[in-house]
Structure 1
Amino acid sequence: MTIYLDVIWLLNFSIDFMLLWLTSVILKRKITFVRLMIGAFFGSLYVLMLFLESSLVYHPIVKFIYSVFIIYCTFGYKRFGSFVQGLFMFYFASFITGGGIFGIHFFLQTEAEIMNGVLTTQSTGMGDPVSWLFVILMVPVMLYFTKRRVGDIEIRKLRYDQIMNFELRIETTILKGQGLLDSGNQLHEPISKTPVMILDLTVFKNDLPEEVISHATSLENIGEVVDEENPWIDRMKIIPYRAVGSNHQFLMGVKADHMAIWSEGVKYETKNVIVGLSFTNVSGEGDYQAILHPKMLSHASVTSSAS
């Protein structure tokens, strides 16, 4: 069997380079192109060691020590915690990328066949051609996929960090749920300048008086309030707002008696809030049922905290 060592080395060098680049992207560390080249080159030299007549190079401890030097060549050493984080993120990127390629390859594998009851495969000196094609084409794809998924996780984590439990009281009605604290929400009642939160009526419409829902529906559909009895008529406000790509619109608001919000074990309470009633689903995934105003926290009183 002919082994093309130069091709194997070049492939490993390219893969190591992309894995180290992905590691730096995930960790948000600025690494020069030269450092990436040095780290990838040092990592690719391990291929040459595999041809030594020694079982020591296959030992997990030797592999781990070698990966430590790869990270040192690429990122250097500043703090122990930072160095360990880079090392394990390198392993994470390697396992995700390699595992994805391995799984896809064997999912689509067609060169295996049964001969005399034995599963056999075919290969050449450069390895299975399908496997080489997958390695060459799928490594960039898996790197891109991993980068995107990590980015989505970070965004989702940031969003969940801003999701808070709330309890809203309007007369005898108590509504509980989760709200997203949105710094982009700058909606105020025009006269009193009271901050306005947005409540998803697709979730809470059965918890509010029918007359209130009817008023909110008429304002949203025909732009005016129907003339009928309403137990909360003295609380109701008309909130003008403007969405992107649309003209001025109006939102029905209700003055709340009390609002409690829990954030990181701290309870905030305020009475300075108007609840905007919207039939628009504020969260397509159902992660939260309201959009909170940032001033609701800044103007609230801290009544309890985690010990």
Structure 2
Amino acid sequence: MYVEYYAIENLLVNYIIISCTAIISKNNSSMKKKWTGATIGMIYSILYLFDNFNLFFSIPMKVLLILIVTKIAFNNKSLKGYLRTLTIFYFVNIFIAGSSFFIIYCTGLTHLTISFIILITYISGVVLKYIYNDIKELKHIASMKKDMTVCIDEKEVELKALIDTGNLLKDPISKSEVVIISANKLYGILPEEFQKLDLKNINISSIDNVIDKVDKNISYRIRMIPVKQINDSNLVIGIKSDYIKVDGQKIPNVILGLSNFNEDGYNAILNPQLLMSI
């Protein structure tokens, strides 16, 4: 019975570690691959209970195990991606193991239940995720302006974007962050109907009028975005891009909110949360 509990504990702990690694590395691994990797780790840990398998616990074998699990549990399309995931996987293991021992030391517990060990591992993983996200957001905020490329209907325009946490505008459908764009910078790649809009007085009728007059390849992109404070209006007209490109990385299907703001030094406003997907 002890072996069964030990196996279940290791399986769940391994799965939490692999899932945490997948989140941090932005590796969209399937649940099947994650459970397969966790199962391999569980089988390896069970061998530790038997003296006949001591050879498997040498340093080279442990290195081989983490290489195999990284290969099986994650989607890696290149050697660079594999090495990046491997490095993150290694440090996630160290962090979760270290924080777990710290919690055990602070609580003074000597007898630990399976559920408690799993809970500690889960909490450590959540804490690590938040720490990682905070560090990444601070990194983006440190550089407040970015060169940005916007692509709509296969037409591109270059912009200078300000990173601003005050931009809280979100698309009501996808719930994703909206990029505020100085509309006159997009007029060269948008139909002239957009130039006729009074962006300070956007309403459902004016948006419908644009939808009726433009081609289908543009009309399906148009969005109505409710907002409390921008352009002194209750609505902002948005348009879905093919993608935006920041730091050489494409973010597809981003909604662009058209505004008439005019500031020196930048013509777009980015929420740093949007950059977290890079």
TM-score by length of 2: 0.52
Query: Which is richer in helix?
Result: 2
Q: CA 1:81–1:110 in 2, change beyond 3 Å: closer, same or farther?
A: closer
Unaligned runs of 5+ in 2: 147-160, 168-179, 183-227, 233-261, 268-278
1:143 to 125, 149, 166: 125
Q: CA 1:294–1:104 in 2, change beyond 3 Å: closer, same or farther?
A: farther
Letter in 1 for 2:96: T
Q: Is the 1:101–1:142 contact (alpha carbons within 8 Å) kept by the matching residues of 2?
A: yes
* Residue pairs, 1:107-122, within 5 angstroms: 107-109=106-108
Letter in 1 for 2:46: L
Equivalent pairs: percent with the same residue?
19
Residue in structure 1 matched with residue 134 of structure 2 by the alignment: 152
Q: Does 1:38 align with 2:39?
A: no
Question: How far 1:149 sits from its partner (Å)?
Answer: 1.0
Q: Is the 2:96–2:125 contact (alpha carbons within 8 Å) kept by the matching residues of 1?
A: yes
Residue in structure 2 matched with residue 22 of structure 1 by the alignment: 20
Letter in 2 for 1:141: I
Q: CA 1:294–1:67 in 2, change beyond 3 Å: closer, same or farther?
A: farther
Q: Note the alpha carbon deviations across 1:109-143, whole angstroms, 9 max, x for none.
A: 055xxxxxxxxxxxxxxxx236x453122111111
**For the residues of structure 1 that align with 2:92 and 2:42, how far apart are their CA atoms?**
16
Residue in structure 1 matched with residue 246 of structure 2 by the alignment: none
Q: Note the alpha carbon deviations across 1:133-174, whole angstroms, 9 max, x for none.
A: 53122111111111111111111111112279xxxxxxxxxx
Residue in structure 2 matched with residue 81 of structure 1 by the alignment: 80
Question: How far 1:78 sits from its partner (Å)?
Answer: 2.4
**For the residues of structure 1 that align with 2:69 and 2:162, how far apart are their CA atoms?**
42
Question: How far 1:76 sits from its partner (Å)?
Answer: 4.7
Residue in structure 1 matched with residue 265 of structure 2 by the alignment: 296
Q: Does 1:5 align with 2:3?
A: yes
Query: Which is richer in strand?
Result: 1
**For the residues of structure 1 that align with 2:93 and 2:118, how far apart are their CA atoms?**
15
Residue in structure 1 matched with residue 144 of structure 2 by the alignment: 162
Greater Cα offset, 141-150 or 68-77: 68-77
TM-score by length of 1: 0.47
Letter in 1 for 2:265: M
Greater Cα offset, 48-57 or 134-143: 48-57
Q: Note the alpha carbon deviations across 1:265-285, whole angstroms, 9 max, x for none.
A: xxxxxxxxxxxxxxxxxxxxx
Residue in structure 2 matched with residue 59 of structure 1 by the alignment: 58
**For the residues of structure 1 that align with 2:135 and 2:12, how far apart are their CA atoms?**
27
Q: Is the 1:71–1:86 contact (alpha carbons within 8 Å) kept by the matching residues of 2?
A: yes
Q: Is the 1:182–1:294 contact (alpha carbons within 8 Å) kept by the matching residues of 2?
A: no
Alignment length (residue pairs): 166
Question: How far 1:182 sits from its partner (Å)?
Answer: 3.8
**For the residues of structure 1 that align with 2:31 and 2:80, how far apart are their CA atoms?**
24
Letter in 2 for 1:158: H
Q: Is the 1:22–1:93 contact (alpha carbons within 8 Å) kept by the matching residues of 2?
A: yes
Structure with greater Cα Rg: 1
**For the residues of structure 1 that align with 2:97 and 2:263, how far apart are their CA atoms?**
44
Letter in 2 for 1:56: L
Unaligned runs of 5+ in 1: 112-127, 165-179, 189-243, 249-292, 299-307
Q: Is the 1:105–1:134 contact (alpha carbons within 8 Å) kept by the matching residues of 2?
A: no
Letter in 2 for 1:9: A
**For the residues of structure 1 that align with 2:18 and 2:100, how far apart are their CA atoms?**
17
Letter in 2 for 1:30: N
Q: Does 1:72 align with 2:71?
A: yes
Residue in structure 2 matched with residue 212 of structure 1 by the alignment: none
Q: Is the 1:77–1:83 contact (alpha carbons within 8 Å) kept by the matching residues of 2?
A: yes
Question: How far 1:39 sits from its partner (Å)?
Answer: 1.0
Q: Is the 1:15–1:139 contact (alpha carbons within 8 Å) kept by the matching residues of 2?
A: yes
Corresponding residue SS for 1:28: coil
Question: How far 1:60 sits from its partner (Å)?
Answer: 1.4
What value does the CA root-mean-square deviation take over the aligned residues?
3.3
Residue in structure 2 matched with residue 237 of structure 1 by the alignment: none
Question: How far 1:297 sits from its partner (Å)?
Answer: 5.9
Letter in 2 for 1:140: Y
**For the residues of structure 1 that align with 2:263 and 2:52, how far apart are their CA atoms?**
66
Q: Is the 2:145–2:163 contact (alpha carbons within 8 Å) kept by the matching residues of 1?
A: no
